[in-house]
Structure 1
Amino acid sequence: MGLTTWNYGEDFASLGIGHFIWHPYSSKRASFNSGFPHLLRYIEARGINIPSWLQGRNGLYCPWSNRNEFLKEQYSSKMSELRIFLQKTIPIQAEYMTRHLQEILPDLLASAPAEERVFIYQKFYSLARTPTGIYALVDYLNFKGAGVSNSRYNYERGTGLLQVLKGMKYAPPGSTPLQAYVWSAKNALIKRVERASASQHTERWLGGWFKRLNTYLEGNIDT
């Protein structure tokens, strides 16, 4: 059931090979960082049939409002239909992920200081040359956005993809590109928690966030 997951400690479902985020309507973040609806529109534009309950505005929000509801429906007809749809569209999901990256790189470079652009470019392609690295780039972009103000993937500046790539320079010596990337992402998210007010209790999300990042190192591109 790796194509349809809802990790403990998260307030959204993660779908497909790119772990595309799908927020329920009740989520405060539903309007700005659900990646799954963008994937659906891309698939529709390619003339591929999608389940009727995912068409148009129906696909904007996850119909299950929380993780417990989602897990209870794992063997329902709707969930089975969703899983079959995701399985059949794996090739186009991969195509979408690749285009996703191609579109965002110019924004990343344009938003970075001139003296850092070569470093960011090199780190980006040190990851993008492997399937696992592509997954890590796309998944984090879907997860926390680009980190640049002129992108529709700008969810949280300070923890976005741009900041993670920049932060790779501070990773422990001897780290592989993927290890440095995960280290930088975790560091950015820790700082995000430290900046938040105590009333937000953002530390409760760290476990789920780190579990997501660890899949990059495990190479679980289909779970």
Structure 2
Amino acid sequence: MPRATMHFSMIERWPNEHGEHEGQNVLRLNPFVASGIILVLTSPAFATETPPVLVEEPKLVAAPMRSIEISQDLAEKVGQKVWLNETGGDREAITAWNTTEDFASLGIGHFIWFSEGLDTRFRESFPAMLEFLRSRGAKPPAWLDVSPVPPCPWKTQQEFRREFYSPKMTSLRRFLLETVDLQVQYLAQRTKAALPKILDSLPNADDRLHVRRQFYRLVGVSQDLYPLIDYINFKGEGISDKETFPNRRTGEPEGWGLKDVLLAMNGTSEDPKQVLAEFADAARFALKRRISNNPPDKRWQRGWLARVETYRRPLR
């Protein structure tokens, strides 16, 4: 009787920062389960017969996502650190409009809010955060308590600054200060939802496998999940084609979100110190690459790199 054999292997080679491939092959168990079977008939009796025809490609089914949990106490601690990173802890800076940007930045995570008709490479985040707060029972000011969330009423930085102490913005600032705990919960929820979105954005199966493995390496060693929560809030998931700049030499689009950081990681160690250091190094690489591709961003380099250095150590 013929014997059926199945072969599963995944050998990965990942380029270093210079685009060269390190001579390191890593054998890993594939977390994707094939729902089809390819038969290899090895009996001599079948040597002259027509080989079987594969009428349908095997379908790959992603393994279930692992649950990520963070306690309320720890979430608040992480949220306070994110707020410190974004605003220096300044209560008035919970509503801001940065000098070089075309949109308002609100809340502890500086969630961005677009005025009507704004065309930008960045992804808006304030409306989703506000809807989350409302789903948890928070009551925004009456002018904002509508669905869908309206565009930002201040169209320019000058108008925003002129209206900074107006009744409308004062009520918004009060609402945001009163819902810090819920904003922290939103940050944690966004982290939980990040991996499926990132995997969906990657057409290459090897890249999906690599990103999934690196994501869970970090989850496995970071009890507070601070590096993940902060970086997603800081630079996003990296799933929008608009959030890229062309490489100045090749013209290829290159991003700086969490997806790009995870793709730049290539370690296998489970040592917490080493994994956290590798994540910080990969984040540093992604940000410096962005600055190289878009030189005006060099003005932010010092603050950006100082921020990712905080990922090397657990929060105290």
When normalised by structure 2's length, the TM-score is 0.53
Shift of 1:210: 4.4
CA deviations over 1:172-214 (Å, ceiling 9, x no partner):
x998356425413313423553xxxxxxxxx54x257647735
Contact 1:5 1:15 in 2 (8 A): yes
Name the structure 2 match of 1:185. 286
Change in 2 beyond 3 A, CA 1:126/1:162 = farther
Cα distance in 2 for residues equivalent to 1:20 and 1:215: 21
Counterpart of 1:150?
A: none
* 1:22 correspondence with 2:113: yes
Compared CA separation, residues 154 and 139, structure 1 to 2 (3 A): farther
Amino acid corresponding to residue 186 of structure 1 in structure 2: L
- In structure 2, the partner of 1:117 is 212
Note the C-alpha offset of 1:58: 6.9
2:165 matched residue in structure 1: 75
Quote the offset at 1:4 in angstroms.
0.9
Distance 1:20 1:108, change over 3 A: same
Partner residue of 2:177? 87
Q: What residue identity is the alignment partner of 2:243?
A: E
For the 8 Å contact 1:164–1:185, the answer to whether it is kept is: yes
Of 252, 262, 283 in structure 2, the residue corresponding to residue 165 of structure 1 is 262
Summarize the Cα distance change of 1:100–1:116 in structure 2 as closer, same or farther, 3 Å threshold: closer
Larger-gyration structure (1/2):
2
Q: Distance in 1 between matches of 2:226 and 2:211?
A: 25
- TM-score normalized with structure 1 length: 0.71
- 1:140 maps to 235
Question: Which residue in the other structure is 1:49 paired with?
Answer: 139
The structure, 1 or 2, with the larger RCO (C-alpha pairs under 8 Å, 6+ apart) is 1
Matched with 1:199 is none
Deviation of 1:109 (Å): 4.5
In 1, Cα distance between equivalents of 2:171 and 2:308: 30
Distance 1:188 1:24 in 2: 29
Identity %: 29
How far residue 53 of structure 1 moved from its aligned partner, in angstroms, is 1.6
What pairs up with 1:27-38 in 2 under 5 angstroms? 27-29=118-120, 33-38=123-128
Gaps of 5+ in 1: 148-152, 194-202
SS in 1 for 2:93: coil
What does the per-residue CA deviation read over 1:20-74, in whole Å, with 9 as the maximum and x for residues that have no partner? 01111142139x7210011111122223211122122573321111212212222
* Structure 2: 5+ residue stretches without partners: 1-91, 245-253, 268-273, 311-316
Over aligned residues, Cα RMSD in angstroms? 3.4
Change (3 A) 1:212 1:22: farther
How many residues were matched structurally? Answer: 198
Deviations 1:98-126 (A, max 9, x none): 11110112333463342453224324665
Distance 1:3 1:116, change over 3 A: closer
Partner of 2:29: none
Instruction: Report whether the alignment pairs 1:216 with 2:307.
Output: yes
